[in-house]
Amino acid sequence: MTLQEEITRRRTFAVIAHPDAGKTTLTEKLLLFGGAIHVAGAVKSNKIKKGATSDFMEIERQRGISVATSVMGFEYQGAKINILDTPGHEDFAEDTYRTLTAVDSVIIVIDGAKGVESQTRKLMDVCRMRNTPVMVFINKLDRPSKDPFELLDEVEAELHIKVRPLAFPISSGPTFKGVYNLYERNLSLFTSDEKLTADASTVNFEELSNPELDSYIGEAYAEQLRQDVDLIEGVYDDFDREAYLRGELASVFFGSAVNNFGVRELLECFIRIAPSPRPAPTATRQVEPGEQKMTGFVFKIHANMDPNHRDRIAFMKICSGRFERNKNYLHVRSGKQLKFSSPTAFMAEKKSVIDEAFPGDIVGLHDTGNFKIGDTFTEGEKLKFTGIPSFAPEQFRYIENADPLKFKQLAKGIDQLMDEGVAQLFTSSLNGRKIIGTVGALQFEVIQYRLEHEYGASCRWEPISIYKACWIESDNEEQLKDFKRRKHTNMAVDKHGNDVFLADTSYALALAQENFKDIRFHFTSEV
């Protein structure tokens, strides 16, 4: 196969959802279609039962299993599909956000009874920032759900994206009849506990006026469906793939993941419309996937769970060319040539050493502590991929050394954990104290635990009241200077020395934005 053919057949995406909407279930059904797993429960068994342990232990255990599920690859109808896992716990980590920088599209799962929930919104914010193409799967139609039109409006309003249903449900809950596929113009009839293929219960209907429809779903539902489809075709424009690819239009499907209903339709449409690896921006130029020379960047680093082995796995997304085992690549940040004798790829829950990989693929690289998030590998060109941001943390604490004899260990531990992207470190301009900022509160416990068990260091947290950290810059140097002088007590620097404003309240932030018009306040920062 040529490089271009390998690229064209690749689809790298993430399934994202608010916890409990059905992300794991859908992922598992997709893997079953691909033959990547053979029994239901293979992915699920990795999931930690809710309430069985403390939240903190749950995070630790998820960290343990998440290497296995970080990337799940499978083949379906000639396509090579890579699903990237986003850690599923209620409590967000930056990892979740950053994984989205390595995908070419996403499928958002929404619980039909609950509609759009808080984490769906947050994840969508990141997708919007990058114009990531979005498909929506509205799940659990076998349970009483909200009105489908209401759900479509909700998705549009809450996720700020235009929608176009490509399937439409006929009732829900105990009277759920099935889904009409507007894309293929056929009707899938619902019987719970479907087997692998839903084909047996799919009926083609070019014309919904066909009276036979009534015999399948009953007169009343048939009439309702005709009206609904008329309405959809009247209200929504035809599906515009270009708008979808620009991230402006989400295609919407309905189904029931646990019953494997509507999943095949979703997958087959996904293969047809979802993008293959897209060009990737760097500080100097855009890299096209079809370029002969290999380039890639690290978007996630996973530490070994065994405290005696500090080794880590760095996850690299290939952006162009052919990656080969035992070939020298330039690690741009250090200027060193490195080769990898056992790069790994991930097929479902299995990890194996590979000889080559292509754009869109994720390769696991063995790391002894030298790599950082955002590191670029090339065949010699000094590129730096952009768009791999740090996200403005929302929780903050001062970190203090609790054992004066272990000062060095603490410094090293903090340094490495920050490289992994576990949290962010800021140094206060006021008093030089170190502040750790995270996206989710439980990360503080994880950091404390890992510092102790992996680095033999001990830390103590002290409260600090900050609403949000934002990176500031301006072309108006006078104003920037003035701002930093006046806000001296609220200024800090990140680990790269960039200026960060630590706003106490949303009001203080709004006021600062109002009074200092020439200053740009950023809520993400390039790493």
Chain residues in the site for ligand G4P (CB under 6 A): 17, 19-25, 44, 47, 88, 139-140, 142-143, 256-259
Angstrom distance (rounded) from CA 269 to CA 448: 45
Angstrom distance (rounded) from CA 114 to CA 418: 36
29 vs 406, beta carbon nearer ligand G4P: 29
112 vs 289, beta carbon nearer ligand G4P: 112
Q: CB of 158 within 8 A of CB of 116?
A: yes
44 vs 160, beta carbon nearer ligand G4P: 44
How does 182-191 read in b/e, with b if 16+ C-beta sit within 10 Å? bbbeebbbbe
Question: What is the smallest separation between the CB atom of 228 and ligand G4P, expressed in angstroms?
Answer: 21
Angstrom distance (rounded) from CA 101 to CA 119: 17
Q: Helix, strand or coil for residue 483?
A: helix
29 vs 317, beta carbon nearer ligand G4P: 29
Q: What is the token pair recorded at 298? A: 């690290």
Q: What is the token pair recorded at 234? A: 């009247």
Question: What is the smallest separation between the CB atom of 22 and ligand G4P, expressed in angstroms?
Answer: 4
Q: Helix, strand or coil for residue 216?
A: helix
| Among 143, 165, 169, residue whose Cα is nearest residue 156 | 165
20 vs 324, beta carbon nearer ligand G4P: 20
45 vs 77, beta carbon nearer ligand G4P: 45
CA distances from 323 to 104, 278, 332 (A): 19, 17, 16
Degrees, nearest 5: CA angle 78-82-86: 155
Question: What is the smallest separation between the CB atom of 200 and ligand G4P, expressed in angstroms?
Answer: 19
Give strand pairing partners of 116: none
| Packing angle of the helix pair 118-129, 148-159 (nearest 10 deg) | 50
Angstrom distance (rounded) from CA 186 to CA 204: 4
How big, in percent rounded to 5, are the helix, strand and coil portions of the chain?
30, 30, 40
Question: What is the smallest separation between the CB atom of 47 and ligand G4P, expressed in angstroms?
Answer: 6
63 vs 450, beta carbon nearer ligand G4P: 63
Give strand pairing partners of 298: 316
81 vs 107, beta carbon nearer ligand G4P: 107
Question: What is the smallest separation between the CB atom of 251 and ligand G4P, expressed in angstroms?
Answer: 19
Degrees, nearest 5: CA angle 445-373-90: 40
Question: What is the smallest separation between the CB atom of 50 and ligand G4P, expressed in angstroms?
Answer: 7
111 vs 454, beta carbon nearer ligand G4P: 111
Question: What is the smallest separation between the CB atom of 239 and ligand G4P, expressed in angstroms?
Answer: 24
Q: What is the token pair recorded at 175? A: 């009277």
Question: What is the smallest separation between the CB atom of 261 and ligand G4P, expressed in angstroms?
Answer: 7
Angstrom distance (rounded) from CA 307 to CA 311: 9
Question: What is the smallest separation between the CB atom of 29 and ligand G4P, expressed in angstroms?
Answer: 9
258 vs 313, beta carbon nearer ligand G4P: 258
Radius of gyration of the CA atoms of the chain, in A: 25
Question: What is the smallest separation between the CB atom of 325 and ligand G4P, expressed in angstroms?
Answer: 34
25 vs 390, beta carbon nearer ligand G4P: 25
Question: What is the smallest separation between the CB atom of 110 and ligand G4P, expressed in angstroms?
Answer: 10
Question: What is the smallest separation between the CB atom of 128 and ligand G4P, expressed in angstroms?
Answer: 21
DSSP 236: S
Question: What is the smallest separation between the CB atom of 24 and ligand G4P, expressed in angstroms?
Answer: 3
Residues near 232 by beta carbon (within 8 Å), at least 6 away in sequence: 165, 168, 182
Angstrom distance (rounded) from CA 442 to CA 460: 15
CA distances from 449 to 56, 245, 452, 454 (A): 10, 42, 5, 8
Within the chain, how many helices (H) and strands (E) appear? 14, 33
291 vs 349, beta carbon nearer ligand G4P: 349
44 vs 272, beta carbon nearer ligand G4P: 44
Give strand pairing partners of 167: 181
Residue type, 425: L
Question: What is the smallest separation between the CB atom of 361 and ligand G4P, expressed in angstroms?
Answer: 24
Q: Helix, strand or coil for residue 323?
A: strand
Angstrom distance (rounded) from CA 459 to CA 494: 20
88 vs 374, beta carbon nearer ligand G4P: 88
Residue type, 504: D
